[in-house]
Structure 1
């Protein structure tokens, strides 16, 4: 490999960065800044040429370890220098090498490495040159300086770097570029030209000629341009022509594997969690990763090393950042940076509020120069965030140059802005940091309820921990903490906070009538969750946010009057724009419709709630899960539209209903049934889901009884009872288990009790169908016909077909009464002729003893061995076998096992 390099006019590029005032760090390199000198270019060239000719007698010299040398061209202005030397082998930058190789593969391609100082561009290019090999290739490296804005000097330098003639008949820059192109086209072998620090170029004539040059490269030539930001070259045209490969900051960032490899190469041991924290803190910024490595080596402890990175009083990277990124910026820009570093992230609107109307222009300029700032979103929703280590320095600079009072004023300004934007947790955090007692108290009183009801309640209360003690310990705050605890089902803590608030005379944060109203509502909310009587009532307030919460609490604790209260809560939530409360009201309105038997209305309201949740970013909330479960329930009971699958962790009720809906298509019904039963029990451990939760327990009970699993069914009913209390669905489930266990009399008593209630819930159809079956088996044909007809009458308006498919024996009653149901015949025939009704019609009912024998049939045991296992006589086993074969329509043991598996008995 023949390599031609131009002198590094002043320094190794962007990876040589200061650790202190006099030291500069690179990845594996330490340089003394004061020892760097500018070499005499002509003297270097002469000495290089003479050395080559004297030692080798050839025009080329092979590369030696640690240095890449170049041949001179006789009579030309040959210049020689060393590549940035790396005493330790650099780690392989896979992503960068892959993109640089892509530029080589193009043939006449250009690679543009554009990223902030310290991102490792130089080291990445050097390591790539190491990777591509040493034979049959000419490499020329030129580190550009301000003087190269002279177009004549620029083209003479580039030409000399590859050994091309520097004198041309036409002295114009474009003619020089064209002459170099012709020379490169005639030169055999591959040529790689590296133009480092290209961001210093600004002369229009030089840049125009460079654009012309890059657009016409011969195929054996690859140009690598490294810069801190894109020099103003015609990059879009090159990109459109397919000859440009960009290598940006994303590709140059250190990955977890590369970070680990760097540390291991320096024999510094780090754990996986350390690597995660290093990458998270440095964001893969190469120079900063190297700083962390040095800190680990110096401090010897992980916390000390990582904490010092973003310590606002003296960031370890301060000197380096000032020298490389901030020194050339105007005072106006530095004030902008300091002010906008106060929030963790910011929009253009917040930036304008903090630093003036030219914020958008300043941000665009920072992005164009690859300043370490990230941008997400689009339009007015764009959010900007500084690199965490840069932000730490900027905050330190803000305090040092403007004082603590200015920092506090900016925190207060940011807090008020976030308050207006309805981000209470961030608002409170900045107001607490400002130390303004009056502003903190006002924020807590006005925004506290909104914060607790929103998804940021935990963060808001965490920020409140740092507030003055008299604010954090106010009884009003204890009520807010109780509300938050109830929302997260921490009822013990909620009760304790309520007791503290009730023991207080009043609050210093809000008027007495507001405190009294909120105290009663929170007490009722907590006691309702604990199953205690409500706590009385007080007159309404003029706070719509408080009244919205009060209406929701009253609706939950007084189902009979829920509908008007929920409509009021919905209107208030829309007025005060609290999406969490609006979604809660929508979900409860859907549940209220279902509780009154209006499943179509329930489904419509649930769909509307889900659409609202998606638009408000609340799709993962508890109320969105409740709405999804209610929609799934309606689809399951009507069996017209397949139930959409759901996340088993976030929405176990909807997930279990979807699995129940697809049970008939399962390859292994027994395994699927176990999965459904586990999901049903798990749903009873989470937040209650009105209507859908109890109905899921009942549906799961029918399934388990179909598979002869009464004990599992009993555990599901028990879990539902623990969460929902003595609801009708639990009593119907117990009745079904009684029937399966041969206690029809007990079942009849339970069912009579359920059906005497005026509750119009959808489970009433299940109770009527089951009682019809029980009466039929007891010989009460008249009562059975009356119940099955009453079930059809109750089910027909909402087209509830599932109870007739789920209750064993129901299809036989429909078959027996076919054509005798009058105006209900059409609905009955719809059920009877469903494809999935075949299973229900041919349902096999085995006794408990027959079930025990059936479970032994897949084994190789003989009848005598089965008798020994079960502790009965051989004749008893044979009697049960005859009963099993008859019910399954089988004549052999193999046929019986196959039939039992086909219908889910095994």
Structure 2
């Protein structure tokens, strides 16, 4: 059949499609097409509605890389004569000699390849909708073009699924490049541009949610835009989406295949074995493979690519369709999935399906066996939903269920709810509890005691070794020892729990162990290790979405502490913001002193950052709110030292005295008591008395609670020496401070020291050293802070009235004292602030934080 006798092909089939109004260009896809090797063909494979045709149309219309040809295929092209006629029509404008070709000639392909080899410039040919080809002869022609690779031809195949061609061999030899659905998915910025072009403007978070819900599917986004323009919320189960999926994705499938997809849609992902359990089909694996190629909306995922996942929108449609067609089948399928998953120790997913099945007995049985594993794995949402599905009667009949519930509530810092679970357990307590039940009760009691600060660190761990309960007991033992001030002993049990967590893939337990080990490092003065361990714990929390949990808050507290010791107030406050967010939704952080610790870190960081009055107020309010419950010595020492220092610098003598009294009641023999008292004497100018107080601390005769307290003490000694003109003694004291400060990795005591002491320290540290660089940077960020000022209570009262418009006589009347008394106080204020006028006094007081701005 000659060219003039061949079937005529409609012009629209061989014309590059026009780009519609509002088309959104995606340069990254054009670049991907351009980057393919000139000798390689390209296959663009993605589901219907992914934007394949328009991307390729833009690529051809963008110019460059030679001339272009286009052929849209349909079912009629399974007739080889029609296919070849279309091919010749598409290529003829670039190769006029093709007019003389005989489509029936045995040498048709060879002649065509020879003709294309002689083209003066490259020719890009797009065969669109190759999935329409099912007949042997046209597919053989395409295969020959791929195999023979004419030098003048750049062939691009566009298809909804992989055609039956030797693609693997072509890929292996580097003769086939791929552009698949994952690359064609719209990214958030592209989706925002598409929505804007469709007349829809929404915020970035809404765009992100829409991209997640549609998986970046172009048609899904356009259908969503139509829904949003109508004022409705896009759920993914919209009638327009369903109609599109039925017409474009499901219509080519048989009813048996559609039913198979409906049945597996109850699961987010399936293996061949799970699909067999759901559908009852022994050939489920083969069906999955077939449908993966046939729909391109069923994807392989996971290690070894043995797991299949339906596109989110397709799964939503199928599940809705299943519930409408056979509503009774849905719970039965969920129950089958739960049993299959339970047999394979996938407890979290098994519980989720048991809940969907509405099978409370199955949920209870799964929790009985797996609640601790789920808790250690961080499956908090599954546990919450499961608990909500169980009545008090079910839980009350089973002390194990009740006690595991208590642990869950304690983990979420809900002690009241945990107590209620313990009460249920006590009512059903057996006369002869098993070893494991007894161990579980011991763990729960220990957690309560730990939270109340009444634990000495010794726990009777009687659980079976190598069990989830044993691992939890080890962690609790380590945390209790740490809280009791026995940090060195705490390391071993926590490390054992960490090994168990990593061996069994219990990520949440791993995060908790890393946080506990960071606490051990902090207690032993290894703040670099603390920062590294807390960072690792935080990475786990970020990966799994645990930052907003109690465990995540404890990790953030350690990171905040590390930032404060590095004199990085802004980083400290960023971590504290996370902690306060958790505190707002829980009874407490589930451990004595953590609320006070949070307030101390926040208040100190605010003070260091310039919010001096607000920072001190935050610390004072938190201390006053603390009840009589015992507190860890470390928390007491940190709170006392930080609040007293702030109060002293702001001249709040009464607050400073209150802090000292509070600390003496709790840590009477700690070195920090001497440090606080010495600091007060330095501000009052009583250097001799201050030195007498510091001497036992500097000689090592008293033990500090905070490992950096000796650093602060030596810096205070240096300040006294400089004031006394003892420069050599001052330099010796600074050297004594620099050694442990560098070893510990703490900068704040140096940065907050008297300016002249810090200047001396910067002269004495070796140049080019990392510690030196960090110290200089921290000093530059903080700036030179004003000296502390010792004010009497009456002077502070007068100072608070100076910013008002009242005269000194009026102030005297308000205070019921003589004008001369007020003038005496004002002169004292001027002298102490180093100013000469009322306006300068107010400015200096605001800068120092003595009055609010």
**TM-score, normalized by length of structure 1?**
0.63
CA distance in 2, matches of 1:100, 1:829: 59
Distance 1:483 1:765, change over 3 A: same
CA separation in 2, counterparts of 1:105 and 1:611? 39
Assess, with a 3 A threshold, how the Cα gap between structure 1 residues 493 and 397 changes in structure 2: closer, same or farther. Answer: closer
Q: By how many angstroms is 1:344 displaced?
A: 1.3
Displacement of 1:827 in angstroms is 0.5
Q: For residues 270 and 682 of structure 1, what CA distance do their matches in structure 2 show?
A: 30
Task: Indicate conservation of the 8 Å contact 1:432/1:463, yes or no.
Answer: yes
Q: Does residue 446 of structure 1 match 2:369?
A: yes
Query: Are residue 458 (structure 1) and residue 361 (structure 2) matched?
Result: no
Residue 456 of structure 1 and its aligned partner are, at CA, apart by 1.3
Relative distance call for 1:567 and 1:722 in structure 2 (3 A) is: farther
1:637-691 CA-to-partner distances (Å, cap 9, x unmatched) read 5x6xx7697585555499xxxxxxxxxxxxxxxxxxxxxxx99999999737888
* 8 Å contact kept, 1:415–1:426: yes
Q: Secondary structure at the match of 1:771?
A: helix
- Paired residues in the alignment total 771
Residue 311 of structure 2 is matched in structure 1 by 387
Residue 440 of structure 1 and its aligned partner are, at CA, apart by 4.0
Task: Confirm whether residue 834 of structure 1 aligns to residue 742 of structure 2.
Answer: no
Q: 1:715 to 1:683 in 2, by over 3 A?
A: farther
Q: How high is the TM-score relative to the length of structure 2?
A: 0.66
- Residue of structure 2 in register with 1:80 after alignment: 10
The answer to which of 523-532 and 115-124 deviates more is 523-532
Report the equivalent of 2:468. 545
CA gap 1:360/1:878 in 2 versus in 1, 3 angstroms: farther
Tell me what 1:843 maps to.
Answer: 787
Deviation at residue 225 of structure 1 after TM alignment: 3.5
Q: Is the 8 A contact 1:426 1:460 kept in 2?
A: no
CA deviation string 1:339-372 (max 9, x = no partner): 7645312568977998999999987776666621
**Match in the other structure for 1:769:** 675
CA distance in 2, matches of 1:537, 1:557: 8
Q: 1:120 deviation in Å?
A: 5.3
Distance 2:447 2:600 in 1: 28
Q: Which of 189, 207, 211 is matched with 2:146 structurally?
A: 211
Q: How does 1:289-308 map to 2 (within 5 A)?
A: 306=237
Q: Which residues in structure 2 correspond to 1:8-87 (within 5 Å)?
A: 78-80=8-10, 82=12
Please report how far the alpha carbon of residue 234 of structure 1 lies from its aligned counterpart in structure 2 after TM superposition. 7.8
Deviation for aligned residue 1:904 = 8.1
**Any idea what the Cα deviations from partners look like across 1:666-724, whole Å, max 9, x if unmatched?**
xxxxxxxxxxxx99999999737888875675574597499795575133222255368
Query: Structure 1 residues 238, 736: closer, same or farther in 2, change over 3 A?
Result: closer
Contact 2:348/2:374 (CA < 8 Å) preserved in 1?
Answer: yes
1:718 paired with 2:621, answer: yes
Write the distance in 1 (CA, Å) between the matches of 2:495 and 2:442.
21
Aligned to 1:845, the other structure's residue is in SS state coil
Cα deviation 1:191-237 (Å, max 9, x = unaligned): 8855222232766752354237875347xxx8664212355488998
Rounded to whole Å, the distance in 2 between the matches of 1:295 and 1:774 is 69
* Corresponding residue for residue 784 of structure 1: 690
Whole-Å Cα distance in 2 between the matches of residues 479 and 75 of structure 1?
A: 86
Shift of 1:387: 1.2
Cα distance change, pair 635–320 in 1 and its aligned pair in 2 (3 A): closer
- Secondary structure at the residue paired with 1:786? helix
CA shift in 2, pair 1:91/1:103, >3 Å:
same
Q: Alpha carbons of 1:384 and 1:482: their partners in 2 closer, same or farther (altered >3 Å)?
A: same
Q: CA 1:82/1:444 → structure 2, altered by over 3 Å: closer, same or farther? A: same
The answer to whether structure 1 residue 811 and structure 2 residue 719 are counterparts is: yes
Cα displacement (A) at 1:445: 0.9
Flag the 1:855–1:263 CA change in 2: closer, same or farther, 3 A. same
Kindly provide the CA deviation profile for residues 562-615 of structure 1, in whole angstroms up to 9, marking residues without a partner as x: 6657744653564474443454355345536655xx323x65366446446646
User: For residue 483 of structure 1, what is the aligned residue in structure 2?
Assistant: 407
Q: Report 1:333-482 matches (<5 A).
A: 341-346=265-270, 371-374=296-299, 379-380=303-304, 384-391=308-315, 407=333, 410-417=336-343, 420-421=345-346, 424-433=347-356, 440-466=363-389, 471=394, 474=397, 476=399, 477-482=401-406
Question: Which structure 2 residues correspond to residues 212-231 of structure 1 after superposition, within 5 A?
Answer: 216-217=151-152, 225-231=157-163
The 8 Å contact of residues 159 and 180 in structure 1, kept in 2 or not, is answered as no
The equivalent residue for 1:143 is: 73
Counterparts of residues 878-889 of structure 1 (less than 5 Å) = none
Q: Which structure would you say has the larger Rg?
A: 1
CA distance in 1, matches of 2:305, 2:840: 67
Q: In structure 2, do the counterparts of structure 1 residues 629 and 802 end up closer, same or farther at CA, with 3 Å as the change threshold?
A: farther
Structure 1 residues 693 and 533 mapped into 2: Cα distance closer, same or farther (>3 Å)? closer
Deviation of 1:462 (Å) = 0.7
Give 1:78-157 correspondences, 5 Å limit.
78-80=8-10, 82=12, 92-95=22-25, 99=29, 112-119=43-50, 121-122=52-53, 141-145=71-75, 148=78, 150=80, 154-157=83-86
Q: In the aligned structure 2, how far is the partner of 1:365 from the partner of 1:140?
A: 29
Shift of 1:772: 1.4
Kept in 2, the 8 Å contact 1:452–1:458? The answer is no
Change in Cα spacing, 1:371 to 1:507, as seen in structure 2 (3 Å) is: farther
Q: Which residue of 2 aligns with 1:571?
A: 496
Q: Distance in 2 between matches of 1:289 and 1:750?
A: 61
